[in-house]
Amino acid sequence: MAQVDFVNYFSILFWFYIVFVIYYLVNFSVLLPSVYSSLKVRSNIYFSYFIRMKSKIQNTIKGFNIFFYIKKIFLVLFFLLKKSIYIV
């Protein structure tokens, strides 16, 4: 590690600031949008499957008042489907 004295202190701070700004710009412009888009697509797929399962079950169980149990079934099926819908 470099000796940090009064002469080298400002150059170390300067280069740290430059590297930090470059790192921030790369994350802000490249990495974060790609992570956001993959998470958004994945959540949209999960939501569409959830709505599809909910509509199928509600159409087959009309007239019964067992919505509490249906919510539990959706949660279990949702976590089971999560393994098969994984997007890279």
pLDDT at residue 60, rounded to an integer? 59
pLDDT of residue 25: 93
> Could you list the mean pLDDT of each consecutive 10-residue stretch along the chain, which spans 88 residues?
71 92 92 88 86 72 56 68 60
Note whether 72 and 44 are within 8 A (CB).
Answer: no
Query: What is the rounded CA–CA span in Å between residue 50 and residue 47?
Result: 5
**pTM assigned to the model:** 0.46
Cβ-based neighbours of 74, under 8 Å, separated by 6 or more: 50, 53, 54, 57
